[in-house]
């Protein structure tokens, strides 16, 4: 694991020497890398596929913009996902996606003291690009190491046991609800951290934080990364870089990329079933 951490660190440091714009694009990639790794943990370790990680991401960003003291509420965002889990694994992706779309639409009409709505809210403080990049890089590395350690720990084994068979886990004394709560809490907390960093990086929050771009981003990146946690970081850089570099010629490029990836997944799955 130390070798991977060293290589990831060198990879993340490289954009600092390529100019302001490249560094900013790398910063967005790092922030969305944190979001993706948090999603990856929920999908791979807990066994729940979320199409709504823009929910904790966006809520945390809005809380920061409205009043930083409200961030104490972010640890409780996992309750939204815990509620949706009672619909079952098959409906969970749709429930989370509907929640993100609902917040995306409702936030367009959220106005406070004459501010908000489609224009959004300003963030009450800012950081220099260099400091924010260093902080985000440190948090990404911490996020990666944290989930690597958790996945191999006794706690991680119990979470996986619940993922594989809740009834069997319960029969050996593992409380499925308890470990589901722990897993959801870890995942949504790091997604919230990504949302806060995103808000600070733009010094502004708008309804777009709940958009399908952020809702589907972790899923798409995880799949092109072949479900490897370390590769999710590289995949985040690939999607963000392609989206920004092609947006001048093809607006909304990210949705084109999403469509291509989703079609490839469908083709690969169909061919695998025919083998």
**Would you say residue 74 has pLDDT above 70?**
yes
Distances (CA, A) of 138 to 110, 122, 148: 33, 25, 15
Q: What does the pLDDT read at residue 58?
A: 96
Range from 15-19, 77-81, 88-92, 102-106 carrying the lowest mean pLDDT: 15-19
**Would you say residue 40 has pLDDT above 90?**
yes
Q: Mean pLDDT, the chain, as a whole number?
A: 88
In contact, 209 and 194? CB cutoff 8 Å: no
Split at pLDDT 50, 70, 90, the class of 149 is: very high
CA distance 37 to 186: 11
Helix (H) or strand (E) holding 122: strand 121-122
Q: What does the pLDDT read at residue 250?
A: 63
Range from 29-33, 124-128, 143-147 carrying the lowest mean pLDDT: 124-128
CA distance 98 to 100: 5
Nearest alpha-carbon partner for 220 in 35, 85, 6: 35
pLDDT digits over 216-243, tens only? 899 989 888 887 899 999 999 988 988 8
Higher pLDDT, 218 or 269: 218
pTM above 0.95, yes or no: no
**Would you say residue 215 has pLDDT above 50?**
yes
Domain boundaries, given as residue ranges, for the chain: 2-212
Q: What does the pLDDT read at residue 253?
A: 61
Q: What does the pLDDT read at residue 166?
A: 87
List residues bridging with 111 in a β-sheet: 116
To which residue do tokens 């963000």 refer?
240
Give percent of the chain above pLDDT 90: 64
DSSP 3-state of 39: helix
Average pLDDT over residues 33-46: 94
What the block records as the tokens of 208 is: 């777009």
pLDDT digits over 168-212, tens only? 888 888 889 999 999 999 999 999 999 999 999 999 999 999 998
């Amino acid at each position: 694991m130390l070798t991977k951490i060293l290589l990831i660190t060198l990879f993340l440091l490289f954009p600092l020497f390529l100019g302001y714009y490249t560094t900013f694009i790398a910063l967005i990639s790092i922030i969305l890398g944190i979001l993706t790794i948090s999603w990856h943990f929920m999908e791979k370790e807990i066994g729940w596929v979320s199409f709504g990680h823009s929910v904790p991401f966006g809520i945390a960003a809005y809380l920061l913009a409205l009043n930083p003291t409200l961030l104490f509420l972010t640890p409780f965002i996992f309750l939204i996902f815990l509620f949706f889990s009672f619909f079952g694994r098959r409906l969970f992706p749709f429930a989370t996606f509907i929640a993100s779309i609902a917040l995306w639409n409702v936030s367009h009409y959220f106005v406070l003291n004459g501010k908000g709505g489609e224009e959004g809210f300003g963030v009450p403080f800012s950081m220099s690009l260099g400091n924010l990049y260093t902080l985000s890089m440190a948090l990404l590395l911490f996020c990666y190491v944290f989930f690597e350690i958790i996945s191999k720990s006794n706690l991680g084994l119990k979470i996986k046991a619940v993922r594989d068979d809740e009834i069997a886990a319960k029969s050996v004394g593992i409380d499925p609800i308890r470990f589901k709560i722990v897993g959801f809490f870890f995942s949504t907390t790091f997604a919230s951290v990504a949302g806060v960093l995103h808000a600070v990086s733009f010094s502004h929050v708008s309804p777009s934080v709940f958009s399908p771009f952020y809702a589907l981003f972790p899923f798409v990146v995880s799949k092109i990364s072949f479900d490897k946690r370390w590769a999710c970081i590289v995949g985040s850089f690939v999607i963000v870089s392609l989206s920004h570099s092609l947006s001048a010629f093809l607006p909304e490029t990210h949705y084109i990329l999403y469509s291509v990836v989703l079609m490839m997944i469908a083709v690969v799955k169909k061919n695998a079933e025919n083998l």
